[in-house]
Amino acid sequence: MDKIAIIVAAGAGTRMGSDLPKQFLLLAGKPIILYTIEAFIQAVPGIKIILVLPQNQLAYCKTLVQNQAYKDQLTFTAGGNTRFQSVSHGLALVPEGSLVAVHDGVRCLITPDLIKRSFAGAASKGSAIPVVPVSDSLRAIIPQEEGQTSHSIDRENIRMVQTPQSFKSTLLKKAFARPYENSFTDEASVVEAMGQPVYLMEGDPKNIKITRPFDLIVAEAVLQQRAQV
């Protein structure tokens, strides 16, 4: 089965608060989105990548990759107002009968190893969703008429969900034919909404999503550590 990646990078980056969308900010001198693209290029020789970008950044992103040897492996399309819409736009370009990995453009510390395991999981199980355990204690908040109460939650059975989330394309296309619901935070939630269970696999604690300025500091430190190995 052909392997295709949809890298969604059409968000506004509100929580980062930078003028330039966070997917284009520099990490150790290189735009975040290039780290993400290059991990997929390294993981799967010849992979086709669909890059979903803000309409007004398409031209800029093309200039970032114009001198890269892999530029012909990239297809560009504009995103939508929600992550669900952005994935839908990418999925429209995915051929039937392929394996598709959907990845956040801002999870730039993704490793080729995780990408390969993700495609392998989807090939054998139909889906592969990387998860990691929770380190902190957890509490559920119960709103009251006045104020709130809370109670602790057993973290043993809780996992944090990452990307890439990989699927057989027939399954993911069928799931994304559904109308949008607010509970759709990722591909797994969309697939589950049509009654199809998803297969979990081990993620990578370093595969963080660059969301706020602090995450840039962490990512720089991880890159420095990798450069020393």
Ligand X SMILES: C[C@](O)(CO)[C@H](O)COP(=O)(O)O
Ligand Y SMILES: Nc1ccn([C@@H]2O[C@H](COP(=O)(O)OP(=O)(O)OP(=O)(O)O)[C@@H](O)[C@H]2O)c(=O)n1
Interface residues with ligand X (CB under 6 A)? 83, 104, 161-163, 185-186, 209
Q: Does 106 bind ligand Y (CB under 6 A)?
A: yes
Helices (H), 23-111: 32-43, 58-65, 83-91
| Residue 185 contacts which entry, ligand Y, ligand X, none (Cβ below 5-8 A, type-dependent) | ligand X
Contacts of 71-76 with CB under 8 Å at 24 or more apart are: 73/41, 73/46, 73/47, 73/48, 73/49, 74/37, 74/49, 74/50, 75/48, 75/49, 75/50, 75/51, 76/50, 76/51
- The reply on whether position 86 binds ligand Y by CB under 6 A is yes
The correct pick among 3, 5, 31, 79 for binding ligand Y (CB under 6 A) is 79
CB of 171 to ligand X, least distance (A): 17
**Cβ contacts of residue 149 below 8 Å, gap of 6+?**
141, 142
Rounded CA separation 202/65 (Å): 31
Q: Is residue 9 at the binding interface for ligand Y, with CB under 6 A as the rule?
A: yes
105 interacts with ligand Y by CB under 6 A: yes
**Residue from 4, 6, 10, 49 in contact with ligand Y (CB under 6 A):** 10
Residue 166 interacting partner from ligand X, ligand Y, none (CB closer than 5 to 8 Å by kind): none
**Smallest distance from ligand Y to CB 152, Å:** 27
